[in-house]
Amino acid sequence: MASFRLTGLEARKVFVRMLSSGTGGSDTAVEAFDPAKRLCKLIISCRQASGLEIELDHSDLRGVVNVETFGIIMRKYARAQKVDEAVYTFNVMEKYGVVPNLAAFNSLLCALCKSKNVRKAQEIFEQMNDRFSPDAKTYSILLEGWGRAPNLPKMREVYSEMLDAGCQPDIVTYGIMVDSLCKTGRVEEAVFVVQDMSSRGCQPTTFIYSVLVHTYGVEMRIEDAVATFLDMQKDGIVPDVVVYNALVTAFCKVKKFDNAFRVMDDMEGHGITPNSRTWNIILNKMISLGKDEEAYRVFRRMIKRCQPDSDTYTMMIKMFCENDRLEMALKVWKYMRLKQFLPSMHTFSVLINGLCDKGEVSQACVLLEDMIEKGIRPPGSTFGKLRQLLLKEGRKDVLEFLVDKMKILIQEPLFD
């Protein structure tokens, strides 16, 4: 069995090498006639914008590049925190026959904001906004950047500038404002924004209502959460699964599980099937309160109506392991495998740790080997715990075998 599994891992290694080397057919020939593919390789290989510029100058790819191409390059540099390179890329667009337009400007600002460089994005906006006519998307990008910072005074300032410039906020803008305010505990101000958008003829979305309901729930203001949900229905907005889940969360927060189940019944009555997230909200709260038997009963109800996800299995297995009920954890694991569900790194880890804590070293080794075979790298803490037990039992041969398999996985990973 061990030799067969090693062969499987070696096959993965060969497959990854084949992908990286481009072997396995007439890939080289195709690339010669595929400028887009050559351009992609060029973008990936060049670490400096100046180097990319030189490569483009000496290639026949000028006609291939467009606004979207430069947007990809700017995002690449911004993600690597090469802010100057991203800006440089924007500034050389015209050299390659691509006129920088508002879409390109928005791409640059978005790349900077998403890489947590909102101050640089704001600086560039103030320097260049006279070259373009900023639209709602432009302002929304900056608002989201300041909201994530978070810097609410600056976010409010940008919003005021937007209104002063005569730019009408759209549904995305309002969604960003409400989300940012609620995440920083300013739910009353968020409600004012919702009222403002309604007065401007812009109807709030289910996303906006879900944010409000969730925030009220987090603050344990269950009456406000329910009132907001009912207001949404009065306004003719049909709730979706996200809003319902927010309401379920609110009831669970105040330990009103019967109400949470009534919400689920209401969902089904309106043709909306509770998803794994809905069930997980209830399970998570019950487990945190030590209601293990109730949680298991809910899990058994869940599997008759909904497919559990990775979080579900991880929660249940961890619950049983922590309560010294390893046989039940293995029962859940067996059910999961019967359903051909691929365990996540966390699911593997909680069971391996549980087996180690009970001294079931051999079973833990089999599970760790299976984990590695599936291309999933175990956390250092999990591997370290098993390593100590193997050394304690004098099973260095098994440890060396697992270490060798780990080395192969680290050299040629498929997943992390």
The answer on pLDDT for 22 being more than 60 is: no
Query: Between 379 and 65, where is the model more confident?
Result: 379
Lowest mean pLDDT among 156-165, 390-399, 407-416: 407-416
Beta carbons of 389 and 363 less than 8 angstroms apart: no
Confidence band for 275, pLDDT divided at 50, 70 and 90: very high
Dihedral sign, CA of 254, 258, 260, 266?
A: negative
Beta carbons of 88 and 125 less than 8 angstroms apart: no
- Whether 150 is in a domain gets the answer no
Q: Whole-number mean pLDDT of the chain?
A: 87
Average pLDDT of the segment spanning 77-97: 89
Same domain, 359 and 397: yes
Any idea what the Cα angle at residue 308 is, between residues 208 and 216, rounded to 5°?
25
pLDDT, tens only, 115-166: 999 999 999 999 998 899 999 999 999 999 999 999 999 999 999 999 999 9
**What is the reported pLDDT for 26?**
43
Beta carbons of 247 and 277 less than 8 angstroms apart: no
pLDDT, tens only, 59-76: 655 566 789 888 988 998
- Whether 214 is in a domain gets the answer no
Beta carbons of 378 and 343 less than 8 angstroms apart: no
- Whether 92 is in a domain gets the answer yes
Whole-number Cα distances in Å, 103 to 98, 107, 189: 12, 6, 31
Same domain, 39 and 81: yes
**What is the reported pLDDT for 357?**
94
Tokens matching residue 60? 């026949």
Choose one of 86, 104, 131: the last residue of a domain.
131
Same domain, 307 and 369: no
**What is the reported pLDDT for 16?**
42
Same domain, 307 and 367: no
**What is the reported pLDDT for 409?**
81
Same domain, 49 and 73: yes
- Whether 21 is in a domain gets the answer no
Same domain, 312 and 360: no
- Whether 280 is in a domain gets the answer yes
Same domain, 318 and 347: no
Tokens matching residue 1? 């069995």
- Whether 5 is in a domain gets the answer no
The answer on pLDDT for 24 being more than 60 is: no
Average pLDDT of the segment spanning 263-283: 96
Choose one of 83, 109, 131: the last residue of a domain.
131
Nearest CA to 154 out of 127, 130, 184 is that of: 184
Tell me the residue range of the domain where 123 lies: 34-131
**What is the reported pLDDT for 14?**
42
**What is the reported pLDDT for 17?**
44
- Whether 263 is in a domain gets the answer no
What's the chain look like in SS3?
CHHHHHHHHHHHHHHHHHHHHCCCCCHHHHHHCCHHHHHHHHHHHCCCHHHHHHHHHCCCCCCCCCHHHHHHHHHHHHHCCCHHHHHHHHHCHHHHCCCCCHHHHHHHHHHHHHCCCHHHHHHHHHHHCCCCCCCHHHHHHHHHHHHHCCCHHHHHHHHHHHHHCCCCCCHHHHHHHHHHHHHCCCHHHHHHHHHHHHHCCCCCCHHHHHHHHHHHHHCCCHHHHHHHHHHHHHCCCCCCHHHHHHHHHHHHHCCCHHHHHHHHHHHHHCCCCCCHHHHHHHHHHHHHCCCHHHHHHHHHHHHHHCCCCHHHHHHHHHHHHHCCCHHHHHHHHHHHHHCCCCCCHHHHHHHHHHHHHCCCHHHHHHHHHHHHHCCCCCCHHHHHHHHHHHHHCCCHHHHHHHHHHHHHHHHCCCCC
Q: pTM of the entire structure? A: 0.81
Contacts of 244 (CB under 8 A, 6+ apart): 263, 264, 266, 267, 272, 274, 278
Choose one of 96, 131, 166: the last residue of a domain.
131
Structural domains counted in the chain = 3
Q: By percentage, how much of the chain surpasses pLDDT 90?
A: 75
The answer on pLDDT for 302 being more than 50 is: yes
Same domain, 39 and 122: yes
Same domain, 329 and 381: no
**What is the reported pLDDT for 354?**
97
- Whether 195 is in a domain gets the answer no
Q: Which residue shows structure tokens 């609410």? A: 152
Same domain, 52 and 101: yes
Average pLDDT of the segment spanning 192-219: 95
Our measurement of the distance from residue 373's CA atom to the centroid of its chain's CA atoms, rounded to an integer in Å, reads 25
Please measure the distance between the N-terminal and C-terminal CA atoms of the chain and give it in whole angstroms.
Answer: 25
What is d(CA 94, CA 100) in angstroms, rounded to the nearest whole number? 7
Beta carbons of 86 and 108 less than 8 angstroms apart: yes
The answer on pLDDT for 33 being more than 90 is: no
**What is the reported pLDDT for 197?**
93
Beta carbons of 43 and 52 less than 8 angstroms apart: yes
The answer on pLDDT for 57 being more than 80 is: no
**What is the reported pLDDT for 35?**
53
State which amino acid sits at residue 171: I
Average pLDDT of the segment spanning 109-113: 97
Same domain, 49 and 117: yes
Beta carbons of 133 and 165 less than 8 angstroms apart: no
Confidence band for 401, pLDDT divided at 50, 70 and 90: very high
